[in-house]
Copies of this chain bind each other. A is one copy, B any other.
Amino acid sequence: MKKEINPDTSSLKLTTARKAILEILHHSKHPLSYEDIKNSLLMDKATFYRNIAKFEEEGLIDSFESSDKKRYFELRKSPHAHFICKVCQKIECMNLPCTFEMEAYTIENVIIKGKCPHCR
């Protein structure tokens, strides 16, 4: 029997490396960078980034760049904005709907930067 991550749409094999990445993202309350998790990973960083790219193509995860020049990854869930503190760099998932009146645009990602309650 073929083991796949998303049998309906995907042709990705469910490898040890992929399971490890998805497992870690699954257990995190906020987006993570490669730096954040490299010590928990046995795979090479090229493998990590290549799998991240595949996951993103499949719509399994989302990512964005922070002000620290790193990319942050999380499993795709219901759309929500992210807050990045410019002082402590902490990233938080914000569960406010924040609708914009931008008819002609497709919004995929909202990032709010500023100072968190601790840092201001």
Contacts and interface: CB of A to CB of B under 8 A. Distances in A.
Interface of A: 64-67, 69, 81, 83, 86, 94, 96, 98, 100-102, 104-117, 120
A50 to B, nearest CB: 17
A8 to B, nearest CB: 24
A120 B69 CA distance: 27
Given A67-B65, A83-B102, A113 B108 contact: yes
A83 B67 contact: no
Contact of A105 (B101, B105, B108, B114): B114
Nearest to A117: B104
Q: Which of A64, A101, A106 has the most CB of B within 10 A?
A: A106
B102 A107 contact: no
